[in-house]
Amino acid sequence: MAVIPLDEARSYVLDRCSPLPAVMVPIPEADGLVLRSAVAATEDVPPFDNTAMDGFAVRAMDTDGAPTELAVVGTLAAGVAPTTTIGAGQAMRIMTGAPMPPGADAVVMVERTAAMGDDRVRVDVTVEPGNHVRRAGDDLVAGDEVFGAGTSLTPAHLGVLASIGATEVEVGRRPRVGVVSTGDELVAPGAALGPGQIRDSNRVALLAALAELGVEPVDLGLIADDEDRIRDALTAGISSCDALCTSGGVSMGDFDYVKTALDDVADMRWMQVAIKPAKPFAFGVAGAVPVFGLPGNPVSSLVSFELFARPALRRMMGHRDLERLHVLAEAVDGLPRRSDGKTHFVRVALERDGRGFVARSAGGQGSHQMRAMADADGLAILRDGPGIEPGGSVTVMVLTRF
Ligand code: AMP
Ligand code: MG
């Protein structure tokens, strides 16, 4: 099987994954999803002029001779409609968020005043009209487009949508993504290890990676290397999920249980990609359901997920940015490698120094050594060649958020 460049493998995958249909979703469930239609404000935010500070609502001109004394004509808390008009020489005690009373055009912070009994206040500063007043509509104006189609929703977006009174939005459906582990040697965490057995660690890691991505993970279990049982699990997954990730059985040397079962249910392409780790990879589509055949070695399985499944699933969600953030870092100790025709993804820990990021190897780089994957903040991308000299700069695909 010819070894193909990473870009070719990625294009093959991305070309076969398209956005899922749009649905209406309640705002609290829309985090991480992507808007399919623009949202316009139906209300001004804030809806009325109000005070940004605790203090006294005044006519700015009355503070010209500060320090000066004003008559306190009442108190306004947030949520209370003003009924009194502020006249010459008057002030109203007012709490943050309360509407500006008619007649007042500025607020003096409480810290710049002194109470002179219950009904008089000394104002120690001069204020200009508009000081500490939040104008109606100075965040959003009714009728304005707030977010365009294609916006990836974050907690702040949900806050804005709630602030304009929206209750639901049209977004791309959240994909359901199934995970199957395959391998006779695997036992679930908690069960006793027999001779030659290891624990199934990929399934829990992949399910967590899916949850972090914002899709709905579906655990399709651990299946022994048995063609019929793998085929049944895949068939069940295809009928209930929007995409599947399988782990194991895709390498050149593997027995054919997984391969035959995958070939039976999906139109698979078996690939050898010019990368390390995660060289073996398979991808196919069953009906409209993409199937990612990830390798079994734990690091390869997650790296392959990062390089192929994650961007493809983001495309299915409708995200415009498919890639992780890439940063330039200084490889202080160097990141040497041998030339072998492949791009290497080296697990690195990132630290910030005064100028930017510093990258160091996160430990053993074997494809079974998950510890370094856990300790890594990202994958340094080393093109074919001798690697990076100490102090040289390297591009790092960031996996963690700081
Ligand atoms: P495979 O891709 O099935 O040939 O597996 C490659 C290597 O990964 C072997 O050492 C397997 O034992 C190991 N492996 C496969 N699946 C898993 C898994 N779910 N969890 C941990 N290790 C695995
Ligand atoms: Mg296997």
Query: Which atom of ligand 1 is the closest one to the Cα of 181?
Result: 19
Residues 6+ apart with CB under 8 A from 366: 299
Q: Where do the DSSP E strands lie in 261-365?
A: 267-273, 275-276, 280-286, 289-294, 326-331, 335-336, 343-352, 357-361
Residue-level pLDDT at 153: 98
Query: Would the CB of 369 count as within 6 Å of ligand 1?
Result: no
pLDDT tens-digit readout, 116-167: 998 999 999 999 999 999 999 999 999 999 999 999 999 999 999 999 999 9
- pTM flag (> 0.85): yes
pLDDT tens-digit readout, 184-240: 999 998 899 999 999 999 999 999 999 999 999 999 999 999 999 999 999 999 999
Query: Would the CB of 298 count as within 6 Å of ligand 1?
Result: yes
Distance 242 CA to ligand 1 centre (A): 24
For a substitution probing ligand 1, which of 180, 182, 197, 202 has the most ligand atoms within 8 Å of its CB?
A: 202
* Identity of the amino acid at 290: P
Ordered alpha helix ranges (H), 241-286: 257-265
* Identity of the amino acid at 24: M
Confidence of residue 256 (pLDDT cuts 50, 70, 90): confident
Query: Would the CB of 187 count as within 6 Å of ligand 1?
Result: no
Query: Would the CB of 201 count as within 6 Å of ligand 1?
Result: yes
For a substitution probing ligand 1, which of 198, 230, 259, 294 has the most ligand atoms within 8 Å of its CB?
A: 198
Confidence of residue 1 (pLDDT cuts 50, 70, 90): confident
Residue-level pLDDT at 102: 98
Query: Which atom of ligand 1 is the closest one to the Cα of 297?
Result: 8
Percent of the chain with pLDDT over 70: 100
Query: Would the CB of 293 count as within 6 Å of ligand 1?
Result: no
At residue 43, does pLDDT exceed 70? yes
Rounded CA Rg of the chain: 30
C-alpha count within 13 angstroms, C-beta hemisphere, residue 81: 2
Query: Would the CB of 131 count as within 6 Å of ligand 1?
Result: no
Query: Which atom of ligand 1 is the closest one to the Cα of 250?
Result: 2
Query: Would the CB of 300 count as within 6 Å of ligand 1?
Result: no
At residue 344, does pLDDT exceed 90? yes
Query: Would the CB of 248 count as within 6 Å of ligand 1?
Result: yes
Query: Would the CB of 202 count as within 6 Å of ligand 1?
Result: yes
Confidence of residue 179 (pLDDT cuts 50, 70, 90): very high
Distance 182 CA to ligand 2 centre (A): 6
Residues 6+ apart with CB under 8 A from 197: 185, 186, 187
